[in-house]
Amino acid sequence: MSVDLTPSGTRGFRVPKVPRLLRKPLYGLLHVLLNRAVRRRGGHLLNLTTIGAQSGTSHTVPLSWFPDGDNAWLVVASYGGAARHPAWYINMAKRPDQVWIELGGRKIKGRPESLKGSEREQAWQRIVAVAPQYDHYQQQTDREIPVVRLTPAE
């Protein structure tokens, strides 16, 4: 069980560059707005903490998640349909043993696993049925958007 770093695309949404000085305040505001928007639509958020593949520093991001049976959560590395993968996905692929999930007031060590083939396709169909924006993101890029299952590490 691991996270496979799939190829980046050649086309997709252009993620704007944010000056370093504005990142923390802006990301804090975006976190609050994202949390409100997701909850308003009946969705769920978790905080995912990874360790930077190059920097070695801790990074926490809020992510929408989708249930996958008991004690398992699916997250989507869409990055809004960008040609490249989000940093959290790259960090997770490079350091799969250094992943933490914060959900419902508790923080646990996580075990990530890339979904592939028919298992990914079935999960993808369940995800886009409740969150159709992910289908739009997939149409914006030529990379296959990864779906990752998170489970508690034992």
pLDDT tens, residue by residue, 70-119: 899 999 999 889 999 999 999 999 999 999 999 988 999 999 999 999 99
Fold annotation for 43-152: Pnp Oxidase; Chain A (2.30.110)
Read off the pTM. 0.84
Q: CB of 64 within 8 A of CB of 43?
A: yes
Say how far apart CA 150 and CA 112 lie, in whole Å.
5
The domains of the chain are located at: 43-152
- Window from 37-41, 88-92, 96-100, 135-139 with minimum mean pLDDT: 37-41
Q: Check residue 148 and report its DSSP letter.
A: E
Query: What are the two backbone dihedrals, phi and then psi, of residue 108, each rounded to the nearest 5 degrees?
Result: -130, 155
